[in-house]
C-alpha cells in the first residue's frame, strides 16, 4: 500500500493534467488488491475530482466499510504514521524499505565487508556500521507512531462486524501490522549490529533472532489474511519478500555464532545450559547433541526469561 498521502497524489496528478498529460495514464500497481484505496483516488483525479485524505477516506469507507467513521479515520491517518527517509514529500517508506535494506546489510556482514555500501548512499554516505546506525534511527524515530497506529486499527476492528470486519482486518489492519513488525525488526537488527561492533557477540546473536521473529510476525500476518478466494494470494510475495528477509537475518545470526562460539560449538551451549560450576568441567567424550542456531537461541531466551522471573 502506497505510503504517501492522498492529498500529495492529488497535487502531483493535477500538475500532470495541467501540463497536458490528458491522453492516457498507465498505472503500474502490480497486484490490485492491496492498492484499491489509492487506485480509487487516481480514478477520481482522472475524472476531474478534487480530493484530499479527509474526503477520500470518508467516501471510500462509505463504499467498502458501510461508512464507518473509525475506518475512515484509520485511512486518513495512515500516511502520517509512515517513516520519512528523505526531504521530499514522496520519500516515505514502503515495505521494501525494511526488507531490501536488511537483506543488503546481512549480505555484507556475512561476507565481512564493512566499507561503504553504495546502494545505501541515498540514505547516508558512510561506512557499513554508520549506514546501519542511520537506517535503524529512521525506524526508531517513528516506531511510537507506528505502534499507536496499530493500536488504533486493533481498537477499530473491535467495533466492526461480519464482512466489514474481515475486509478491514485483511487490508488496513494488515498494513499496520506489516509496518510495525518490520520497523521493530529493523530496530532489533540494528541493535544486533551495534552489539557486534562492541564485540558483544552473544547479545548480538539473540537480538538477530529477535529481529527475525519480528519479520516472521509480518510474514505470518500476510498468511493469516489469505481467507476464502484469497487463499495463497501472498504465496508469491517476492518483491518485498518479508519471509526471505527473516531467512537472511538468520543466516547472519549463524555467522555471528561462528565468530563468537568455539569451533566445537560448545562454549555458548555450556554457558547457556550448564550451571556456572559445571561449565568448565570438560570430558573427552561428547555427551550432548549439538544445538542448532534456532535451538540455542530459544534456550538463551528461556534462560533470560527465567532470570527475569527470579529477579521479580
Least Cα distance to 93 among 85, 101, 102 occurs for 85
Q: For residue 312, is pLDDT > 60?
A: no
If one counts every other C-beta atom within 10 angstroms of the C-beta of residue 310, the result is 7
**Which of 120-123's residues contact partners 24+ apart within 8 Å by CB, and which partners?**
122/86, 123/85
Instruction: Give the structural domain span for 64.
Output: 1-81
- Does 101 lie in the same domain as 238? yes
pLDDT value at position 278?
Answer: 73
- Does 166 lie in the same domain as 298? no
Q: What's CA 104's distance to the chain center, in Å? A: 15
When divided into structural domains, the chain yields a total of 3
- Does 69 lie in the same domain as 89? no
- Does 112 lie in the same domain as 224? yes
Q: Cα separation of 207 and 131, whole Å?
A: 18
Q: Are 135 and 185 in contact (CB under 8 A)?
A: no
pLDDT value at position 309?
Answer: 61
- Does 235 lie in the same domain as 125? yes
Q: Cα separation of 87 and 198, whole Å?
A: 32
Is-above-0.85 flag for pTM? yes
Q: What phi, psi does 92 have (nearest 5°)?
A: -115, 150
Q: Cα separation of 65 and 180, whole Å?
A: 23
- Does 298 lie in the same domain as 224? no
Name which residue leads in pLDDT, 311 or 16: 16
Q: For residue 157, is pLDDT > 60?
A: yes
Give per-residue pLDDT as tens, 95-134. Answer: 999 999 999 999 999 999 999 999 999 999 999 999 999 9
Share of the chain above pLDDT 70, in %: 96
- In which band, very low, low, confident or very high, does the pLDDT at 304 lie, cut at 50, 70 and 90? confident
Least Cα distance to 11 among 37, 42, 55, 34 occurs for 42
Q: Cα separation of 81 and 89, whole Å?
A: 14
- Does 154 lie in the same domain as 60? no
Give per-residue pLDDT as tens, 277-302. Answer: 777 776 655 567 889 999 999 999 99
Q: Of the residues 81, 116, 149, which one is the last residue of a structural domain?
A: 81
pLDDT value at position 91?
Answer: 94
What's the CA angle centered on 170, arms 59 and 178, to 5 degrees? 105
Q: Cα separation of 52 and 29, whole Å?
A: 20
- Does 74 lie in the same domain as 202? no
Q: Which three cell numbers, joined as nine digits, stand for 290?
A: 549439538
- Does 110 lie in the same domain as 6? no
Q: Of the residues 53, 81, 109, which one is the last residue of a structural domain?
A: 81
Q: Are 249 and 182 in contact (CB under 8 A)?
A: no
pLDDT value at position 262?
Answer: 83
Q: Are 245 and 98 in contact (CB under 8 A)?
A: yes
Q: Cα separation of 251 and 249, whole Å?
A: 5
Q: Which three cell numbers, joined as nine digits, stand for 221?
A: 500476518
Name which residue leads in pLDDT, 189 or 236: 189
pLDDT value at position 136?
Answer: 98
pLDDT value at position 144?
Answer: 98
Q: Of the residues 61, 81, 101, which one is the last residue of a structural domain?
A: 81
- Does 245 lie in the same domain as 121? yes
Lowest mean pLDDT of 83-92, 140-149, 280-289, name the range: 280-289
- What is the 8-class DSSP label of residue 92? B
Grouping H, G, I as helix, E, B as strand and the rest as coil, residue 157 is helix
pLDDT value at position 288?
Answer: 79
- Does 246 lie in the same domain as 272? no
Grouping H, G, I as helix, E, B as strand and the rest as coil, residue 84 is strand
Give per-residue pLDDT as tens, 15-72. Answer: 999 999 999 999 988 789 999 999 999 999 999 999 999 999 999 999 999 999 999 9
If one counts every other C-beta atom within 10 angstroms of the C-beta of residue 2, the result is 20
- Does 244 lie in the same domain as 135? yes
Amino acid at each position: 500500500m502506497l505510503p504517501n498521502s492522498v492529498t500529495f497524489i492529488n497535487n502531483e496528478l493535477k500538475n500532470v493534467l495541467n501540463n497536458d498529460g490528458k491522453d492516457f495514464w498507465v498505472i503500474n500497481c502490480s497486484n490490485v488488491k492491496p492498492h484499491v484505496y489509492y487506485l480509487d483516488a487516481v480514478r477520481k483525479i482522472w475524472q476531474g475530482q478534487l480530493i484530499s485524505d479527509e474526503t477520500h477516506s470518508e467516501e471510500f469507507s462509505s463504499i467498502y466499510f458501510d461508512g464507518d467513521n473509525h475506518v475512515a479515520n484509520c485511512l486518513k491517518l495512515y500516511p502520517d504514521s509512515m517513516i520519512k527517509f528523505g526531504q521530499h514529500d514522496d520519500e516515505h517508506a514502503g515495505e521494501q524499505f525494511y526488507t531490501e535494506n536488511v537483506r543488503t546489510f546481512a549480505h555484507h556482514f556475512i561476507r565481512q565487508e564493512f566499507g561503504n555500501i553504495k546502494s545505501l548512499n541515498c540514505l547516508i554516505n558512510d561506512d557499513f556500521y554508520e549506514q546501519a546506525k542511520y537506517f535503524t534511527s529512521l525506524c526508531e524515530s517513528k516506531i511510537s507512531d507506528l505502534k499507536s497506529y496499530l493500536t488504533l486499527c486493533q481498537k477499530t476492528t473491535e467495533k466492526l462486524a461480519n464482512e466489514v470486519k474481515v475486509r478491514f482486518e485483511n487490508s488496513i489492519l494488515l498494513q499496520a501490522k506489516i509496518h510495525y513488525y518490520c520497523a521493530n525488526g529493523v530496530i532489533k537488527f540494528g541493535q544486533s549490529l551495534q552489539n557486534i561492533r562492541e564485540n558483544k557477540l552473544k547479545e548480538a546473536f539473540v537480538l538477530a533472532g529477535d529481529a527475525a521473529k519480528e519479520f516472521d510476525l509480518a510474514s505470518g500476518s500476510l498468511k493469516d489474511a489469505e481467507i476464502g478466494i484469497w487463499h495463497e494470494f501472498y504465496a508469491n510475495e517476492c518483491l518485498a519478500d518479508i519471509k526471505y528477509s527473516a531467512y537472511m537475518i538468520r543466516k547472519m545470526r549463524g555467522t555471528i555464532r561462528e565468530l563468537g562460539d568455539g569451533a566445537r560449538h560448545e562454549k555458548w551451549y555450556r554457558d547457556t545450559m550448564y550451571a556456572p560450576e559445571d561449565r568448565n568441567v570438560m570430558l573427552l567424550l561428547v555427551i550432548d547433541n549439538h544445538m542448532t542456531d534456532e535451538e540455542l537461541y530459544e534456550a538463551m531466551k528461556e534462560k533470560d526469561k527465567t532470570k527475569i522471573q527470579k529477579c521479580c
